[in-house]
Amino acid sequence: MNNDKVAVITGAGSGVGKAVALALAGAGYRLVLAGRRSAHLDEVQAQANATHGAADRILCVATDVTDASAVESLFAKAVARFGRVDLLFNNAGRGNPPGSFLEWTPQQWRDVVDVNLNGMFYCLQQAFRVMRDQSPQGGRIINNGSISAHAPRPNSAAYTATKHAVMGLTKTAALDGRAYNIAVGQIDIGNAMTDLAARMAKGVPQANGEIAVEPLMDVEVVAQSVLYMANLPLEANVLFHTVMATKMPFVGRG
């Protein structure tokens, strides 16, 4: 499939980021894959090439999103290679420290905030600058939020707080993007089968104190949701999109 669009994907080496990268590769996007582990990015590139013949359409850039200068370099390399950026899937994130938040250190708290909020802001800021200045102007940003932005889990203060902040970032960026033809939306995911969510199949604490196994969905469903959002014309925007395992305990009281 021919497609001139250029997408930057953070956290692209595994989980949701990897699934989205492969889906976008299949749709013909030119991709800039960002993540901390170069070997994982190379594996995604190899898989995309084997499946879609996409090797010449992919640039891998080892990036720590908590480093603002590294994020600036990421977008500079994207523009140097492909000339523009049409899509940012702002995906890099991490979960809570283990155990009760009463035992967390200040550094454990900061580690989550640095990735889930600061890193997301740095990437959004650089994407805005590129999309504002390129011709034709504009682009799309999809932030990876979480249903934790609507309903928290026990002992999830760091992750939940940052995902609430991401919701605010999405709303304000959607407003600020209007001046530059930039559409900003968010996908909130509930229990996709990834390494991060694998513990759901073994049983996780519920609000009532019980431990319960939760249903999971194929991560490819999430990838197709992001692809749908990405392929909309810039005159239309999905501000918030929730995709979840149908029977997970989220809606109502379990």
Query: What is the model's pLDDT at position 248?
Result: 84
Query: What is the model's pLDDT at position 190?
Result: 87
Q: How far apart are CA 230 and CA 235, in angstroms?
A: 12
Q: Which residue type, as a one-letter code, is found at position 68?
A: A
Which residue in the list 29, 159, 180, 228 is annotated as catalytic? 159
Q: How far apart are CA 33 and CA 2, in angstroms?
A: 19
Query: What is the model's pLDDT at position 251?
Result: 80
Per the annotation, the verdict on 228 as an active-site residue is no
| Percent of the residues in the chain that have a pLDDT greater than 70, as a whole number | 91
Could you say which of 3.40.50.2000, 3.40.50.720, 3.30.450.40, 2.40.30.10 is the CATH number of the domain covering 6-244?
Answer: 3.40.50.720
Q: How far apart are CA 16 and CA 193, in angstroms?
A: 9
pLDDT beneath 70: ranges in the chain = 1-2, 195-209, 212-214, 253-254
Q: Where are the domains of the chain?
A: 6-244
Query: What is the model's pLDDT at position 198?
Result: 62
Residue among 96, 115, 112, 86 at smallest CA distance from 9? 86
Query: What is the model's pLDDT at position 100?
Result: 92
> DSSP assignment, residue 5?
-
126 with 75: CB under 8 angstroms?
Answer: yes
Answer whether 0.85 is exceeded by the pTM. yes
